[in-house]
Amino acid sequence: AQDMQQGWNKEAVNKPHPGLNWFSSAKFGLFIHWGLYSELGGKWKDSSYYGSGEWIMQRAKAPAGEYAKVAASFNPTGFNAAQWAARAKAAGIKYLVITAKHHEGFSMFDSRVTDFDIVDATPYHKDPMKELADACRKEGLQFGFYYSQFLDWHEPDGGGNNWDFKNRKKDYRQYYQSKSIPQLKELLNNYGPLGIIWFDMPGGLSEQETKQMIDSLKAIQPSCLFSSRVGHGLGDYIDFGDSELPPTPIEGAWESIYTHNDSWGYIRHDMNFKSPAEIIRLLSSVASKGGNLMLNVGPDGKGEWPAYSIKYLEETGKWLQQYGESIYGTTHGIIPAQPWGVTTSKPGKVFLHVWQLPDNGQLRVPGLTARINSVTLLGTAIALPWKQSADETVITLPAEWPDKRNTVIQVEYSGQQPDWSQLR
Ligand code: H79
């Protein structure tokens, strides 16, 4: 539709920012989509929907008044902030971003701007965001809010709802002034220091107006990062499209976001969860290109996480306990992606993430021309024999392979080593 033509915004100012210190070494974030759509779980009346559960109101063309009634049965008695934060921590996650308001227009926090919020409109009557913000900080995690600043299918003057509010004017400044900006200020004022405001789907404002909005918000918390979908290239770091990974390493701060199954919001009939091996390899792939992975979980209307999300994140965390050194604080791999896997780097070190074992037990690594000092299985004292020649290094792998999903070999070197782009 007309409203959405501005689409993604993958540009960012790429200026120094205090928040980029934690962001750049964090590498692994947790996205949580939670709203009224979580109570619906992909079902509206007699129809079931697959994928993008958070879009169900739009896909079912539900009238705003009728959709709003879902709030009366939204009672997440299973929500447990300490447990959510502890799960994230144990999974090796460093930051958490949760939907404060998605396109459906419902506020998952206590807002004075509207009664269409979790405290006023549901039998729960409490603010889960306050508890979650505190629990995350207790665990040492950065905490942030997703906020859909333009689309709002509940408000006649918000963006996007053209199946219900047909006659609204095409000037969205009123919406920004009366809801988005006041709510963003509430989030920045009432929930302690935020790591990120994760804007989505820009629209309706000029570059000048977007700058003004950003300035008025940055005045409250200067060290909070704004995602690139704030629009007009004015974000602090780059977000690629949903479930999109750049083909080659990218300089600067950026993030790729992925669903765990095939939806952001909870879908009761979606069991297509990425396995621990897939998550671990995805995380390594994103890190090998220099970015952060923010993986999504969609809790249900009771506040319970899907069992597979709990289990698979826990297993990912165990892998990170052993191999985290090859992920956190790394930069993109100096060796380009190989048939056997990917690489990440630290000064004087390259980490070989091996997913595919060569039949003959000989791992071929092209382009390592610096002086190699040691080759070990990461997290162990086990040294591996290697033979370095002008165009490749051949490493002899042990007969016993620790982890078929991804075992990391650490190569320590000294002296000059060309980067991947010079190796092409
Ligand atoms: O919150 C998640 C998405 O709901 C949101 N961004 C992530 C983080 C998002 N907003 N807009 N879009 C994604 C792009 C819109 C895609 C659409 Fe469709 C294609 C809208 C209609 C067709 C996918 C399929 C969503 C509904 C049907």
CA 153, CA 162: separation in Å to the nearest integer? 9
For residue 55, report the distance from its CA to the centre of ligand 1, in Å.
7
For residue 151, report the distance from its CA to the centre of ligand 1, in Å.
11
Stretch(es) of the chain classified as CATH 2.60.40.1180: 333-423
Alpha helices by DSSP H, 124-275: 128-138, 173-175, 181-190, 207-218
Q: Are the C-beta atoms of 350 and 411 separated by less than 8 Å? A: yes
- The three-point CA angle 199-201-205 to 5° equals 90
Q: How do residues 76-89 score in pLDDT, each as one tens digit? A: 999 999 999 999 99
Task: Write down the pLDDT at residue 4.
Answer: 41
Residue 89 CB neighbours (<10 A): 19
- Residue of 50, 52, 145, 293 best suited for mutating to test ligand 1, as the one with most atoms within 8 Å of CB: 52
Q: What is the mean pLDDT of the chain?
A: 95
Stretch(es) of the chain classified as CATH 3.20.20.80: 2-326
Task: Write down the pLDDT at residue 424.
Answer: 57
Q: How do residues 328-380 score in pLDDT, each as one tens digit? A: 999 999 999 999 999 999 999 999 999 999 989 999 999 999 999 999 999 99
Residue 268 main-chain phi, psi, to 5 deg: -65, -25
Residue 180 main-chain phi, psi, to 5 deg: -55, -55
pLDDT band, very low/low/confident/very high, at 168 (cuts 50, 70, 90): low
Residue whose Cα lies nearest atom 5 of ligand 1: it is: 200
CA 352, CA 322: separation in Å to the nearest integer? 14
pLDDT band, very low/low/confident/very high, at 3 (cuts 50, 70, 90): very low
Task: Write down the pLDDT at residue 2.
Answer: 34
Residue 180 in tokens: 């988005």
Residue 85 in tokens: 């934060």
For residue 257, report the distance from its CA to the centre of ligand 1, in Å.
13
Atom of ligand 1 nearest to the CA of 296: 8
Looking at domain 333-423, what is its CATH homologous superfamily? Golgi alpha-mannosidase II (2.60.40.1180)
Report the pocket of ligand 1 as residue ranges, CB < 6 Å. Answer: 52, 54-55, 59, 200-201, 242, 257, 264
Name the pairing type of β-strands 225-226 and 196-200: parallel
| C-alpha closest to that of 293 among 241, 337, 233, 245 | 245
Q: Kindly provide the residue ranges of all beta strands, DSSP E only, lying in 106-251, ordered along the sequence.
A: 142-148, 196-200, 225-226, 238-239
Residue type, 210: T
- Residue of 34, 200, 229 best suited for mutating to test ligand 1, as the one with most atoms within 8 Å of CB: 200
For residue 242, report the distance from its CA to the centre of ligand 1, in Å.
8
β-strand partners of 352: 343, 409
Q: Which listed CATH number (3.40.190.10, 3.40.630.30, 3.40.1050.10, 3.20.20.80) goes with 2-326?
A: 3.20.20.80
